[in-house]
Amino acid sequence: MFENLSDKLERAFKVLKGQGQITEINVAETTKEIRKALLDKRDNPYPNLEEAPLYPKADDFLEVLFAEQFTAVAGSFLYCENEIQFIETLLELAEEKKWRKMYCWEPVLQEILNTYEYPYYSSDTDFLNAEVGLTLCEALIARNGSILVSNRTAAGRRLSIYPDTHIVLAYTSQLVLDLKDGFKRLKDLCGNTLPSMVTTITGPSRTADIEKTLVLGAHGPKELFVFLIDDSQK
């Protein structure tokens, strides 16, 4: 396919160059040859391209693969057996980091925090001083350690972006191998009415635009935590 097209284009340019000077006739003939070359029907030289795997087969468990990839991009991964362990670990982390203003807007998460009397802000009051945003996610992409999020929940667009620290609570049932699997999961949940914002988060916000010096938190959170709860026994 490409060799044939290259030959035709080469002949077309020879027509243009071979006359010694560029004229309207040369340009017209060359344009005609190029159009013919581009419109000429050709067989697909790589008929099995779509079937070929883009990545090697993943042998690890999805939670192991995600943890490896996520921590490789400066994310902090914490595995919890249940919600009690999640709350206990969150309390220890908040004490260590001296977090006082944690915001949580999703009812499912609020119910968990209320059960164990964990303090949080349920509205955007004094949001400019928010230290931590606690959200759920749509899926965890094990292949590259990314978090698939959308604005279909009460967390919206702001809670995962504005605070210096973003904490994601996820479940093992949300682990998928590739991005296409994550989008399939989202489509299964939403049908044809997809959210207006769907994106992936891969590690804390970073940039190296200035003097190639890596800076975390330039366009979003400086720290990103994923708490993964095992819900396989439910």
pLDDT of 110 > 90? The answer is yes
Domain parsing of the chain, residue ranges: 2-39, 62-229
Residues 6+ apart with CB under 8 A from 216: 74, 204, 205, 206, 222, 223
Nearest residue to 140 (alpha-carbon basis) of 52, 223, 230: 230
DSSP states along 191-217: TT---S-EEEE-SS-EE-TTTT--EET
Q: In what order do the strands lie in the sheet with 198-201?
A: 175-176, 139-141, 146-150, 198-201
What are 192-216's pLDDT values in tens digits? 899 999 999 998 887 777 777 777 7
What are 141-154's pLDDT values in tens digits? 999 999 999 999 99
Mention the CATH class of domain 62-229.
alpha beta
Q: Return d(Cα 194, Cα 130) in angstroms, integer.
A: 29
Residues 6+ apart with CB under 8 A from 98: none
* Beta strand 102-103 pairing with 132-135: parallel
For residues 90 and 118, is the Cβ–Cβ distance under 8 A?
A: yes
Average pLDDT, the chain: 85
* Cβ neighbour number for residue 113 with a 10 Å cutoff: 18
For residues 72, 75, 78, 84, the Cα torsion angle rounded to the nearest 10 degrees is -170
* pTM as predicted: 0.75
Q: Tokens representing 209?
A: 């635009």
pLDDT band for 62, please (50, 70, 90 cuts).
Answer: very high
pLDDT of 25 > 60? The answer is no
Q: Please tell me what DSSP assigns to residue 121.
A: B
What is the CA 163 to chain-centroid distance, rounded? 19
For residues 148 and 198, is the Cβ–Cβ distance under 8 A?
A: yes
* pLDDT the model gives residue 1: 43
